[in-house]
Amino acid sequence: MELDTYFTRLLARKGQPLLLAGPCSAETEEQVMATARGLQGLGVDLFRAGIWKPRTRPGSFEGIGAVGLKWLQRVKQEAGLAVTVEVATPRHVEECLAHGVDVVWIGARTTVNPFAVQELAEALGGTGVPVMVKNPVNPDLALWAGALERLDRAGVRDLAAIHRGFSTGAPSKYRNAPTWAIPIELKTRFPELPLICDPSHISGRRDLLLPVAQKALDLDYDGLMLETHPDPENAWSDAEQQVTPFRLAEMLHELKHRYRST
């Protein structure tokens, strides 16, 4: 029997891979709205923006907080885009529910922690909010699958996985090594689970985005998540890997075979 979820319905309706785009972080209302306007007409299915940012070291920008959720409400109303936000605690889930966030995702630094995932699963179960689960920071398939299973057991049926690469400690041109065998194995275990690639966090640099995205499409991924910013060089987080909406549009044309123009 075919799985019937938020993501499978979206995929069936679209007939091509999903496109998730938006800034690494919501910074200002103007930046969020400029990004959303730039993305209009590109076939974006979900507008992403980090509101609470899990930064490696203290003292860097840790997210604008709940005020940014009001800006995302404007994105929904004025640009007509559904929105998605990273949640790491039950309080984040509550805030998202209160502000009409359409989809949430669990970040790589949270997927590694079964206690945190369990709390999120309990907060999300029964809400009907679709959830995307990024792979854990470390190359551990069982931990990724375990997080998905915790959500499933808590009653979250609208699930997708996001492959954002792995921290392996080995020297690499990538910020996070793709280690394609791991997401491929996840797909073998859960064939109906939509799998989205996040070339931005795999690459860590603009010049690798296109080949990583192309590889994901060649492997039949169900979508791409690409960080987009009106002024990438001056972004408050992940400045090296973001692209303008204009460059994203060019990339969609350069990607072979899979994205029809909309």
By beta-carbon proximity to ligand PEP, the closer residue of 92 and 164 is: 164
Binding residue for ligand PEP, selected from 17, 22, 50, 183, defined by CB under 6 A: 50
Number of residues that bind Mn ion (CB under 5 A): 2
Burial class (CB in 10 A: 0-12, 13-18, 19+), 257: exposed
- Fill in the amino acid letter for 69: L
DSSP labels, 176-220: SB--THHHHHHHHHSTTS-EEE-HHHHHSSGGGHHHHHHHHHHTT
**Binding region for ligand PEP (CB under 6 A) out of 36-44, 106-114, 124-132, 210-218:** 106-114
Write out the binding residues for ligand PEP, residues 5-44 only, by CB under 6 A: 24
Q: For helices 67-74 and 29-39, give the axis angle rounded to 10 degrees.
A: 30
By beta-carbon proximity to Mn ion, the closer residue of 23 and 125 is: 23
H or E, element range at 134: strand 131-134
Rounded to a whole number of angstroms, the minimum distance from the CB of residue 147 to ligand PEP is: 12
Binding residue for Mn ion, selected from 10, 24, 46, 224, defined by CB under 5 A: 24
Write out the binding residues for Mn ion, residues 211-230 only, by CB under 5 A: none
Burial class (CB in 10 A: 0-12, 13-18, 19+), 97: middle
Binding residue for ligand PEP, selected from 134, 163, 175, 229, defined by CB under 6 A: 134
Q: Footprint of Mn ion on this chain (CB under 5 A)?
A: 24, 238
Q: Footprint of ligand PEP on this chain (CB under 6 A)?
A: 24, 50, 54, 107-109, 134, 164, 201
